[in-house]
Structure 1
Amino acid sequence: MIPLAPLFIQIKENLERLSEVLLRERSALATATPDDILQLASEKKSLLDAIDSANAKRQSMLIKFGVLHPKQPDDKQFFDWLDQQDNMEDVKLLIAECDELLNECKQANQTNARVLSTLQRRNKALFEMLQGHNRKNKVYTSNGNTKPVSSKHTIGRA
């Protein structure tokens, strides 16, 4: 019997922690605390690395036991093999839980990305305002691009 349950338990625990980190990241984005955001990004990276590592171990284990083809390992081969196994209901349940957690994490991460994008646009607009730029007032550069006009160089200030 292939010891897959411990790997999927590890993946599930990491996905649960990732979900918690994503929730904390969302509140850090709401309060706009850069140090917290950077620290949470580091936590996310280490959790994702741990999940990737466990998945690589799973794949190499399945290759070793002949479940996956060594040159072209495919998860479809694994799921076909798993469907034929009667005594691995615990692994099937863990995989279903991991898939559900992964989808929740993806959705939370996409939400955080949208919040971050909105914050970046807002900060850029505020920065341009502080510099005296107006997004609507743009001029063409020598290579055909456009750039905002600074209030320091407008005709009204000449």
Structure 2
Amino acid sequence: MIPLVPVFIKSKELLEKLSLLLDKERHAYNDSDTSKIVYLSEQKQSLLDEMDQLNEKRLNILIKFNILDRKKPTEEEFKVWLDKQDSHFDDIRLLIRECETLLKECKTKNHTNSRILSTLQKRNKHLFELLQGHSGKNKVYTSSGSTRPISSKQTIGRA
């Protein structure tokens, strides 16, 4: 038997952890807790690195058992092979479906967090420009052809 079940079980566990981490990240954005955001991003990177290593292990197993082409392994090739297998591989099929569902959920959460972060960055940039007395709408061209904001003499810091 091909030792894939432990690999997919571990993948599922990592995806579940990632999903929880993405929820915590969203709450940290809501709380504007920068130290927590940095900590969570480090945790997220660690999980993604572990997932990459696990995927590499899975590919090596599939190549070792001549399921995938050594030179150009593809997911499609594995799925075609798996579809041809008997019911002994049903547990792997189930784990793959669960992992795909979790992955889709994680991608959605990550996209949502990305949009939240983008909104926060725009808001902070706007507030910073207000503090400096700049307006994003009032820009002039420099001699090099780029643009820069026009500075106001009445900044909050000078008021």
TM-score (norm 1): 0.95
1:59-109: per-residue Cα shift (whole Å, max 9, x none)?
A: 001000100010011111111111111110000000000000000000000
What corresponds to 1:146 in structure 2? Answer: 147
SS at match of 2:148: strand
Which residue matches 1:46? 46
**2:89 matched to which residue of 1?**
88
Root mean square deviation of aligned Cα: 1.0
Structure 1 residues 55-66: aligned runs within 5 Å: 55-66=55-66
Could you say which residue in structure 2 is the equivalent of 1:156? none
Aligned equivalents of 1:64 and 1:53: distance in 2? 16
**What percentage of aligned pairs have identical amino acids?**
55
Matching of residues 1-40 of structure 1 within 5 Å: 1-40=1-40
Amino acid at match of 2:47: L
Q: What letter corresponds to residue 73 of structure 2 in structure 1?
A: P
Q: Structure 2 stretches of 5 or more lacking a match?
A: 155-159
Q: Structure 1 runs of 4+ off > 3 angstroms?
A: none
CA deviations 1:14-54 (Å, max 9, x no partner) are: 00000000000000001111100000001111111111111
The offset of 1:152, in angstroms, is 3.3
Following superposition of structure 1 onto structure 2, how do residues 109-120 of structure 1 map, counting pairs within 5 Å?
A: 109-120=110-121
**What code does the residue aligned with 2:113 have?**
N
Runs of 5+ unmatched residues, structure 1: 154-158
Question: Within 2, Cα distance between the matches of 1:64 and 1:121?
Answer: 49
Q: CA deviation at 1:136?
A: 1.8
Q: Secondary structure at the match of 2:72?
A: coil
Aligned length: 153
Other structure's SS at 1:139 match = strand
Moved more, 133-142 or 17-26: 133-142
